[in-house]
Copies of this chain bind each other. A is one copy, B any other.
């Protein structure tokens, strides 16, 4: 399945969240990761992330499309930077 994850997480925890997401998905831009993953990976990723964040102040949205063919993606503008520059 194809998954898009966006997060709004305190600076204190943002590196941990990014590193965890990078294990499963590709960085797109800002606070957005995306990519294909299995249901098992998705559940593990959610469990891991939800141990890191503060549920009172941080926020994560998950968008899941079971069949990647049902999702169209368009991009306009500058090419994304290389995440490795940041980690």
A→B interface (CB under 8 Å) = 4, 6-8, 28-32, 46, 49-50, 53-67, 70-80
Name the residue in A31, A49, A62, A63 with the highest tally of chain B Cβ atoms < 10 Å from its Cβ. A63
Looking at chain A's contact residues, the main secondary structure is strand
Closest B residue to A60 by beta carbon equals B76
Write out the residue numbers on chain B whose beta carbons fall within 8 Å of the beta carbon of A46: 74, 76
The reply to whether B57 and A74 contact each other, CB–CB distance below 8 Å, is: no
Given contacts A8-B30, A55-B76, whether A63 and B63 have CB atoms under 8 Å apart is yes
| Distance in angstroms between the alpha carbons of A7 and B67 in the assembled complex | 24
One of B32, B57, B65, B73 near A32 (C-beta < 8 A): B32
Given contacts A60-B75, A65-B70, A73-B61, whether A29 and B55 have CB atoms under 8 Å apart is no
One of B6, B56, B66, B73 near A30 (C-beta < 8 A): B6
